[in-house]
Amino acid sequence: MHFSGRSARRGVLLGVALLSTAAVHAAEGGLSNFPYGALTTYPAFVPAPGTSAFYGYSLFIDAHSVRDADGDKVPGVSAEVLAFAPRVLHTWEKSFLGWKMTSGALTEVIYAKVKVPGADDDDLGPTLLGLEPLYLSKTAGAWTFFHGPLVYLPLGNYRADRLANSNLNYRSYTYQGAVTWLPTARFEASLNAAVEFKAENSETQYEAGPQASITFGTGYKPFTDTRWDLGVSGYYTDGLADDEQNGRTVAGGGRTRKFALGPKLVYWLNPGAAIVAQWHHELLSENGARGDLFWLECALPF
């Protein structure tokens, strides 16, 4: 989440090295460095000019099944993931043609546990470093707009013969845009759209195709105590091209498609700081894990 005077938020980094075995053919392609599902509350907002903010993100994933290209369950395969991601953003005092300029960086640590028939594995370690060189944002009436690139660099150790890895072992490059609409002081609606381009995993020669996502959320302050904000949020993601391994298209294409929806609760500590809790239940999953995502996030300007 990003917050500027009123608020907002951005992303955590979600990366889970599930596995690449005969039982779960498309698992490697079903993962993403970009955190679709995270950008649900004021994603177009940034810190005020000349100020910075700390963002903390934690995420628990209960992936109780893995689904094939038809959305059918792969028997006996599941995973649990716990992720933590600290992040700092700074908005520069100078602007560019009326657009605010913001830069930042983040890192992430993940614990992943994977089970398959007759075996299980877990791993704990650093996942990635995220570089956010330049975002541009602007407010026009009730609308605020935001866009810019992200670069993800893998951290930690990776072993292709393990079921669980705490990093994905590939670089990726994302461009995203967001819009937040505030027609009244009590209601907010936001949408973030992003495309992630993934490099090849050098250990497995697996290269996932580009992945697009749309993350959405609404919030309303129904009480006299306007520190409480209730809403719904979710995401849709879809692969734009087939995955490849050793230069050949994988069986079934490997494109991941997901849709999730759930409730969201925000508590405002003050007009520029907040805590966000949300639950996303995945209603659709093809070529990837399917389960529940529980987010706890905070934004603290300084």
Whether the CB-CB separation of 48 and 6 falls below 8 Å is answered with no
- Residue 172 confidence (pLDDT): 96
Q: What does the DSSP assignment read for 13-82? A: ----B---BTTBTTTGGG--SS-TTS--SSTT--PPTT-EEEEEEEEEEEEEEEE-TTSPBPTT-EEEEE
Classify residue 91: in a domain, yes or no: yes
Whether the CB-CB separation of 222 and 205 falls below 8 Å is answered with no
Q: How many domains does the chain have?
A: 1
Classify residue 13: in a domain, yes or no: no
- Residue 6 confidence (pLDDT): 35
Classify residue 8: in a domain, yes or no: no
pTM, two decimal places: 0.87
Range of the domain at 156: 28-301
- Residue 26 confidence (pLDDT): 38
- Residue 23 confidence (pLDDT): 32
Whether the CB-CB separation of 273 and 5 falls below 8 Å is answered with no
The closest alpha carbon to 232, from 181, 266, 258, belongs to 266
In the chain, at which residue ranges do the beta strands (DSSP E only) sit?
Answer: 52-67, 78-96, 99-116, 119-140, 143-154, 172-181, 187-198, 206-207, 211-220, 228-239, 244-245, 248-249, 257-270, 273-286, 288-301
- Residue 69 confidence (pLDDT): 85
- Residue 9 confidence (pLDDT): 28
Q: Supply φ then ψ for residue 28, to 5 degrees.
A: -65, -40
Whether the CB-CB separation of 196 and 173 falls below 8 Å is answered with yes
Classify residue 222: in a domain, yes or no: yes
Q: How many residues does the chain have?
A: 302
Classify residue 259: in a domain, yes or no: yes
Q: What is the largest distance, in Å, between two alpha-carbon atoms of the chain?
A: 60
Alpha-carbon distance 75 to 64, whole Å? 11
Classify residue 95: in a domain, yes or no: yes
- Residue 24 confidence (pLDDT): 35
User: Residue 210 belongs to a domain with what CATH number?
Assistant: 2.40.128.130
Classify residue 1: in a domain, yes or no: no
Alpha-carbon distance 199 to 171, whole Å? 5
Whether the CB-CB separation of 19 and 63 falls below 8 Å is answered with no
Instruction: Mark residue 137 as left, alpha or beta (left: phi above 0; alpha: psi -120 to 50; beta: remaining).
Output: beta
- Residue 30 confidence (pLDDT): 67
Classify residue 9: in a domain, yes or no: no
- Please report, in tens digits, the pLDDT of each residue of the chain (302 residues total): 654 433 332 222 233 333 333 333 334 656 789 999 998 999 999 999 999 999 999 999 999 988 888 888 888 889 999 999 999 999 999 999 999 999 999 999 999 999 989 899 999 999 999 999 999 999 999 999 999 999 999 998 898 888 888 888 999 999 999 999 999 999 999 999 999 999 999 999 999 999 999 999 999 999 999 999 999 999 999 999 999 999 899 888 889 999 999 999 999 998 889 999 999 999 999 998 999 999 999 999 99
Strand 206-207 and strand 211-220: pairing?
A: unpaired
- Residue 29 confidence (pLDDT): 54
